[in-house]
Amino acid sequence: DSAYGAFQRGLYKTAYNLALARAQNGDPAAQTLVAEILSRGLGVPVNAAEAAKWYALAAEQGIPESQFQYALMLLDGRYVKKDEKGAYALMQAAAEAGNRLAQFNFAQLLVQQDPGDSGIAKAVSYYQRAAATGLADAQYAMAQV
């Protein structure tokens, strides 16, 4: 699409302007793109609170990248009310959908919740999937198990 094409070419303000109308009409890919641009301040001032709103809308529609990013915000309580249960559910959904960073982070959450052998056993499949994509942190985690 033209908004993503502009983003890929570094025309961030153009990408934002093209994606915003579609985002406002409920397009989850456009919502994710608007959130990414706002969260990183690409061509527009950084506005993490507004980015959180767009990530949340796209996450509700099942976009794994938005689920992952919004889960991180919920975990930290950054720009949104802290919600560990909601973050856990979104992180798991993004991990199951194949987002490698979500797979690694969900594995970390599992180990954090249960630092013993059973937590590690639950986490291994997520570490393995993330490691298979070449994610160095996941490969290191697998080497430690």
Contact 28, 62 (CB under 8 A): yes
Q: How many degrees, rounded to 5, is the angle at CA 69 between CA 68 and CA 71?
A: 65
Report the candidate in 50, 1, 68, 71 with the shortest Cα–Cα distance to residue 29: 1
In three-state secondary structure terms, 45 is coil
The per-residue pLDDT for range 13-32, each reduced to its tens digit, is 999 999 999 999 999 999 99
The pTM assigned to this predicted structure is 0.93
| Mean pLDDT for the chain overall | 97
d(CA 37, CA 15): 9
In this prediction, residue 1 carries a pLDDT of: 86
CB-based contacts of 98, cutoff 8 Å, min separation 6: 64, 129
Whether 44 shows a pLDDT value over 90: the answer reads yes
d(CA 58, CA 56): 6
- From the number of C-beta atoms within 10 Å of its C-beta (0-12, 13-18, 19+), residue 108 rates as middle
Report the candidate in 51, 47, 44 with the shortest Cα–Cα distance to residue 72: 51
The per-residue pLDDT for range 91-141, each reduced to its tens digit, is 999 999 999 999 999 999 999 999 999 999 999 999 999 999 999 999 999
Q: How far apart are the first and last CA of the chain?
A: 43
